[in-house]
């Protein structure tokens, strides 16, 4: 891969990277100044031209979403910053917030100017204590320096930013669950439409964007849409719905690798490159059996699919749900896929909010069936039952309110369709792919 200069992580590991002084010394808040000199519609147009796709999981183009706000609305418009980051394996937002909070605040201020909002809420994952403290200090610095509050940089723009600690549940990251939670209620996702851009927080037009998405906005204003589009992958001509995958991306690497971490690379790097070049290879000299491409809700790639480009189109072509959060989790060849899938199902069943019967019951039954298989009482028919349940739940079959259910179904579909022989062997012989004795021996090495 040609040399790539990190942009989003450029300031990470610098001494004092969280302070306003050091951020300004590195050119910080120049993009905000530039944006405040532009008409809001021109800022929206620049972000739309860049084809920046949301980094929170769904990949929806940010600029296009901003155009859905009502044009003639005279009341409040809100920005909700989705910092709930609870997808297993995902920690890129945490790094951005802990190490470079002003990059995010600048992106928030630019976005608010663009969408004509004077109020932003950062909805922060409850467990992120350090992010909370760092962001709180950075917001305070901004108010003192006239970068938040009234008449920002003398440009007549007012903005208040509130930091809100989340309710410690995965479903709070779903945008309408987040809005309900911010309103002080249980995080039960809302039926859409109406989408938040029309009726969101406090029933007012609202934009929800991910932390990384907003950090990208700062650089798009600084360097231009053409720069952003010079990084990444153009649309796949074979897929008329693909918009391309442009810009830098933070990839998280975890699981059975030698060097877990977070790296910034152009969109489109392959799973193999990530594991071998950036993750130090699979640990203990083993091979990868399966790889989660973007958080567990996206499903699995097999060892034969490691050359899949991790852009917005690649994982789809390999039968996964999508790129998701681009959080790669590696499963080595001595780990049982039955155990891996059981963990995924148990998590989703615990996190289902329970509003929709197919999700509430489906996630529970899939977990129970896997419990039975693991206890040695599985039947081969169980595999088809699991596929039937998985096929009947989610937004894609149209039976649930939100995408948690699709994210619960996809690992089941992928695991059974791609690793069926292992599941059958487990059921018929009662044997795990690796026995506990093998595990002990491996641990001793």
Ligand X SMILES: Cc1cc2nc3c(=O)[nH]c(=O)nc-3n(C[C@H](O)[C@H](O)[C@H](O)COP(=O)(O)O)c2cc1C
Angle between helices 92-99 and 211-223 (to 10 degrees): 60
Candidate residues 86, 103, 181, 313; the one interacting with ligand X per rule CB under 6 A? 86
Q: Is residue 352 within the footprint of ligand SF4 (CB under 6 A)?
A: yes
Q: Find the binding residues for ligand X in span 114-173 (CB under 6 A).
A: 170-171, 173
> Which residue stretch of 104-112, 225-233, 351-359, 383-391 sits at the interface with ligand SF4 (rule: CB under 6 A)?
351-359
**Binding to ligand X (CB under 6 A): which residues in 208-237?**
208-210, 213
Q: Which two tokens stand for residue 252?
A: 């998280």
Within 190-209, the residues that bind ligand X by CB under 6 A are: 208-209
CA–CA dist 39, 283 (Å, integer): 52
Pick the closer one to ligand SF4 by CB: 252 or 356.
356
Residue 323 beta carbon to ligand X: minimum distance, rounded to whole angstroms: 11
Which distant-in-sequence residues (6+ apart) come within 8 Å of 7 by Cβ? 219, 248, 264
Q: How far is the CB of 405 from ligand SF4 (least distance, A)?
A: 4
Distance from C-alpha of 30 to C-alpha of 218, rounded to nearest angstrom: 9
C-alpha 293/C-alpha 412 separation (Å) is 15
Out of 47, 233, 292, 402, the only residue in the binding site for ligand X (CB under 6 A) is 402
Q: Binding of ligand SF4 at residue 359 (CB under 6 A)?
A: yes
- Nearest residue to 383 (alpha-carbon basis) of 395, 370, 371, 401: 370
Is 192 a residue that touches ligand SF4 (CB under 6 A)? Answer: no
Under rule CB under 6 A, residue 394 binds ligand X = no
Identify whether 194 is preceded by a cis peptide bond (ω within 30 of 0): yes
**Site track for ligand X across 35-74, x = CB under 6 A:** -------------------xxxxx-x-x------------
Using CA atoms, how far apart are residues 352 and 188, in angstroms rounded to an integer? 10
Element holding 284 (H helix, E strand):
none
Q: Out of ligand SF4, ligand X, none, which partner does residue 63 contact, by CB within 5 to 8 A per kind? A: none
Tell me which residue of 416, 410, 384 sits closest to 397, measured CA to CA: 410
Near ligand SF4 by CB under 6 A: residue from 355, 372, 425, 434: 355
Query: Which of 84-92, 129-137, 307-315, 376-384 is the region at the interface with ligand X (rule: CB under 6 A)?
Result: 84-92
Task: Tell me which residue of 430, 388, 378, 435 sits closest to 409, measured CA to CA.
Answer: 388
Helices (H), 145-210: 175-182
382, 369 in Cβ contact below 8 A? yes
The residue at minimum Cβ distance from ligand SF4 is 359
Binding-site ranges for ligand SF4 (CB under 6 A): 171, 189, 352-356, 359-360, 400-402, 404-405
Binding-site ranges for ligand X (CB under 6 A): 54-58, 60, 62, 82, 84-87, 170-171, 173-175, 208-210, 213, 402-404
């Amino acid at each position: 891969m040609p040399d790539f200069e990190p942009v989003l992580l450029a300031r990470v590991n610098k001494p004092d990277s969280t302070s306003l002084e050091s951020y300004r010394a590195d050119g910080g808040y120049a993009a905000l100044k530039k944006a405040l000199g532009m008409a809001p519609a021109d800022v929206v147009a620049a972000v739309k031209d860049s084809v920046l796709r949301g980094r929170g999981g769904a990949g929806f183009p940010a600029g296009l979403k901003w155009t859905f706000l009502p044009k003639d609305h005279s009341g409040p418009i809100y920005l909700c910053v989705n910092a709930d980051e609870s997808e297993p394996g995902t920690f890129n937002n945490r790094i951005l917030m802990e190490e470079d909070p002003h990059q995010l605040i600048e992106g928030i201020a630019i976005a608010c100017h663009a969408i004509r909002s004077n109020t932003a809420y950062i909805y922060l994952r409850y467990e992120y204590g350090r992010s909370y403290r760092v962001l709180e200090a950075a917001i305070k610095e901004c108010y003192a320096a006239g970068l938040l509050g009234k008449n920002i940089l003398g440009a007549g723009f007012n903005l208040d930013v509130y930091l809100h600690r989340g309710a410690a549940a995965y479903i709070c990251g779903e945008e309408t669950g987040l809005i309900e939670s911010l309103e002080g209620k249980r995080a039960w996702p809302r039926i859409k439409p109406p989408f938040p851009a029309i009726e969101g927080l406090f029933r007012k037009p609202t934009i929800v964007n991910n932390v990384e998405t907003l950090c990208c906005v700062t650089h798009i204003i600084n360097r231009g849409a053409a720069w952003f589009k010079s990084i990444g992958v153009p649309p796949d001509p074979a897929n008329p719905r693909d918009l391309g995958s442009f810009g830098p991306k933070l990839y998280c690497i975890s699981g059975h690798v030698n060097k877990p971490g977070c790296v910034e690379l152009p969109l489109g790097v392959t799973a193999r490159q990530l594991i071998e070049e950036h993750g130090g290879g699979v640990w203990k000299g083993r091979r990868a059996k399966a790889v989660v491409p973007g958080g567990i809700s996206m499903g699995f790639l097999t060892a034969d699919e490691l050359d899949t480009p991790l852009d917005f189109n690649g994982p789809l072509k390999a039968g996964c749900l999508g790129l998701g959060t681009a959080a790669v989790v590696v499963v080595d060849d001595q780990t049982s896929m039955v155990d891996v899938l059981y963990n995924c199902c148990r998590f989703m069943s615990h996190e289902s909010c329970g509003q929709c019967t197919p999700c509430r019951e489906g996630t529970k039954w899939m977990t129970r069936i896997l419990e039975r298989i693991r206890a040695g009482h599985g039947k081969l028919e169980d595999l088809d039952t699991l596929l039937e349940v998985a096929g009947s739940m989610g937004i894609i079959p149209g039976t649930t309110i939100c995408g948690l259910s699709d994210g619960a179904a996809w690992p089941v579909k992928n695991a059974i369709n791609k690793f069926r022989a292992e599941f059958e062997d487990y059921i018929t012989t009662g044997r795990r792919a690796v026995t506990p004795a093998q595990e002990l021996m491996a641990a001793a090495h």
